[in-house]
Amino acid sequence: MPPPFHHKLPCSLHHPRLLSLPRATFLLRCRTTTTMSLFSSPSQHDPDPQKPLLNQAIEYHNQTKHGLTNYARGPHGLDWANQPNPFRRFLSSLIIPLSHFDSSSSVADPPLYSSVFLSLPSPSPISKSTISQLFFDSLALSAWKTTGFSTWSLRVNPSSGNLHPTEAYIVSPPINSVSNSPFVAHYAPKEHSLEIRTQIPSGFFPNFFPEGCFLIGFSSIFWREAWKYGERAFRYCNHDVGHAIAAVSMAAAGLGWDVKILDGLGYEDLKKLMGLEFYKEFEIPSRPVKGKFPEIEFEHPDCVLVVFPNGVGEFDVNYKELSLALSGFSELEWKGKPNVLSKQHVCWDVIYRTAEAVKKPLTLGNRFMVDPFQSSGVLSDRSYKGFTLREVVRKRRSAVDMDGVTTMERETFYQMLLHCLPSGSQNGTKQRKQLALPFRALPWDAEVHAALFVHRVEGLPKGVYFLVRNEEHFDDLKKATRPEFNWEKPEGCPDDLPLYELSRGDCGKLAKQLSCHQDIAGDGCFSLGMVAHFEPTLRSKGAWMYPRLFWETGVLGQVLYLEAHAVGISATGIGCFFDDPVHEVLGLRGSNYQSLYHFTVGGPVVDKRIMSLPAYPGPGMDA
């Protein structure tokens, strides 16, 4: 079993007052304030049926904030005897082993990592080899680790605490040596295999999608994260959905495939598509309850991606007819019984009430759009080490500690941020639409920005900076943040990079304290908080955007992971941070903007006591 990863839980339960930045910048008053929603309490006679759902999402968000004097509710210790099995299996289903690859083997010549941000290669056909490569480079095991009596696996896609709540499915036309009929299969990463769940009607793909398309579905098992993190786990599960979306998008790009979420579909459609209707419904308790609740090991359907050949052009998806076709999936013969993950459980009630509130309905007004691929900006291609895409995605690791010494060149810093922009290199057009890899998988305009704490970037003053990823929010952000902020472009910053210096000063201690007193937030080259355009987004689109904001942070986080490894350093996500003190540092009031995910990038400290083993074949245990 893996040891607890400190970058999600605080190292200490003590809460000393935050240290302020030097007077040359600004002072942080150490008070804990709860950011309240603008919404009123739900009423029995409220004519707006969406308001209670919005209230539940925002109530959950406020309830699960960490504060200077209290943390969100979670277990008092880790119940190792009931640690959830990280590998779901569907017992008695037909299992199809997939092909394995090394760093040099590939269906086609492996593209350089940096090249796929500029253009996609010619598309590969759907085959057992290409599907194998897609999973191998996105959701498969990347290594095993062992120390003492503990052994645990790592995966290509990152996960909070290495707990991996995300499950994946493929819905595909017939593939030689896999299935002679169109099928739905569950991906089993430990075995790097497909578990065939059912066969679907032969007309499904020709009726709705161009030739060469298939679907990838994601679901979440909340219990895997809640075992360690309690009520805050719903946030982390949705971070991981975003990580998985980006991981599949990047691996698909290496095969010349594009990816887009089919976000017109609703929750019930996704349940039918992935064969998740058989899980028993359960009554949500009014408070956290411990006991034997196997029903909370159910899979919550999150989203489905359509994977299609690069260059296929525009195509439309008739969501009404597609939903009608999916209704027939309930009558299919689904094979395989899910394995049990734990003997005992804790049901954190607020997670399941919130998951109910943010279920997305079928939205027929959502038109499926395939925008032209937009390349990302290039400032310093020499920053990258000439790694192939596979070398970067499969060698990605989450740093446990930073060395506090490694520095980064300013041009490298700017280049990394250029790859974090949703619209790519726009030649004067403002950042807003998500057109660049891998953000183009998301069908909404960018809603997530980044407040950066710069510690060790050569040629750039230490201080607080802000990356505006949707420039339509620029004026609002300036008004919402501290009036003393500079909002000036730093020296040498590319014209098409909307990065602004807010305030100068050494913010290493502040970054550590804001991230639950974790040294890793101040010992890297830079760290950041991902700040979402929050309540206005939920108000305008619906409560179902709540998890999607976390998906966007997860996609951005995956880019930062890959960028760090591509330039020869490392990174890690930070889920434990003091929410409202972060907002106070920035001067944010109310719920218009909220920090959803933190991150750090720098030189890693390698623990030489831990031995690495190949991903396949593994040690043959559920670790």
The one-letter code for the residue type at 405 is V
pLDDT of residue 48: 84
- Picking from 542, 323, 590, the residue whose alpha carbon sits closest to that of residue 444 is 542
pLDDT tier, 8 (very low <50, low <70, confident <90, very high otherwise): very low
Q: What is the Cα–Cα distance from 94 to 180, expressed in whole angstroms?
A: 13
The one-letter code for the residue type at 106 is S
DSSP conformational letter for 255: T
pTM of the model: 0.93
Q: What is the Cα–Cα distance from 157 to 289, expressed in whole angstroms?
A: 31
Q: Do domains 84-368 and 396-602 have the same CATH topology?
A: yes
| Site of tokens 């930070």 | 574
Identify the CATH assignment for 84-368 out of 3.30.1490.20, 2.40.30.10, 3.40.109.10, 1.10.10.10: 3.40.109.10
Q: What is the Cα–Cα distance from 323 to 460, expressed in whole angstroms?
A: 52
Instruction: Parse the chain into domains and list their residue ranges.
Output: 84-368, 396-602
- Looking at the predicted structure, is the pLDDT value of residue 60 above 60? yes
Residue 379 CA: distances (Å) to CA of 109, 146, 384, 411, 417 = 25, 40, 11, 7, 10
pLDDT tier, 30 (very low <50, low <70, confident <90, very high otherwise): very low
Encode pLDDT of 555-581 as tens digits: 999 999 999 999 999 999 999 999 999
Encode pLDDT of 241-293 as tens digits: 999 999 999 999 999 999 999 999 999 999 999 999 999 888 999 999 999 99
Span 599-616, average pLDDT = 94
State phi, psi for 309 to the nearest 5 degrees. Answer: -65, 135
160 is written with which tokens?
């909070």
Q: Above pLDDT 90, what percent of the chain? A: 85
pLDDT tier, 20 (very low <50, low <70, confident <90, very high otherwise): very low
DSSP β-ladder status, 150-155 and 141-147 = antiparallel
CATH class of 396-602: alpha beta
pLDDT of residue 102: 77
Q: Are 484 and 23 in contact (CB under 8 A)?
A: no
Q: Above pLDDT 70, what percent of the chain? A: 91
171 is written with which tokens?
């819905």
Q: Are 579 and 588 in contact (CB under 8 A)?
A: no
pLDDT tier, 10 (very low <50, low <70, confident <90, very high otherwise): very low
Plot region of 492 (φ>0 → left; ψ -120 to 50 → alpha; else → beta): left
Rounded-to-10 torsion of CA 370, 547, 119, 155: -140
For the chain, how big is the Rg over CA atoms in Å? 23
**Between 181 and 314, where is the model more confident?**
181
State phi, psi for 92 to the nearest 5 degrees. Answer: 80, 0
Span 139-168, average pLDDT = 96
- Picking from 421, 466, 449, the residue whose alpha carbon sits closest to that of residue 117 is 421
